[in-house]
Amino acid sequence: MRQVLDRWNALPPSSAAEEILPICGSKAWAHGMASRRPIFDEAPLLSACDEVWWALAEADWNEAFSSHPKIGEATAKEALFSRPAQWSAEEQRSVAQAESNLKIALAEGNRRYEERFHRIFIVCATGKSSQEILAILERRLQNDHRTELREAAEQQRQIAHLRLKKWLSS
C-alpha cells in the first residue's frame, strides 16, 4: 500500500488524476483526489474519496455512473484487460453465473431503469447474489428521481471504496 501511495503522491497532478480515474470514472473526482495529495494511508484516502465525491455536481456523478457496464452486460473482449473491466467482472461475478431467466429479468429491469431515470442502474454488486441485485433494482425503480440519484451516488461511493482498496493492494 505504501509503495502505491508513495508513487501516486510523487506524480504530477494530471498523471495522478489519470491514474485514479478508473476507480470512479468522474474526471472532477479524480482531479479532486489528486489535489488532496499527499495521502499516506488507507483511512485518509477513503475519507478524501467521500469528501470529494459528495461535493461533486450531479453531472460529475452521471459521468462516473456512465463509466460502468450495465449489470449483466458482457464486456467487450478488448476491454477485458483494462483494470476497470476486470474490476467490473469481479464485482458482477454472481450475475455472470446467473440462470438465463434471471439475466433476462435483469436486462428488462435495466431497460426500465434507464427509461425512468435516464442513466444505467448502479449497485455495489460485490457479495450480492443475482437475485438480491434484481430485488434491489425492483425496489429502486419505485424511488423518486432525487432519492434514486442519492442512492446511485451512495452505491458509486461504495464501489469506489472497494476499488481504492484493490488499487492499494496492487
Catalytic residues: 68
Question: What is the secondary structure of 42-86 as a DSSP string?
Answer: HHHHHHHHHHHHHTS-HHHHHHHHTTSPPTTPPPPGGGTTSHHHH
Q: Locate 166 and state its grid cell.
A: 484493490
Virtual CA dihedral for 89, 92, 98, 101, nearest 10 degrees?
-110
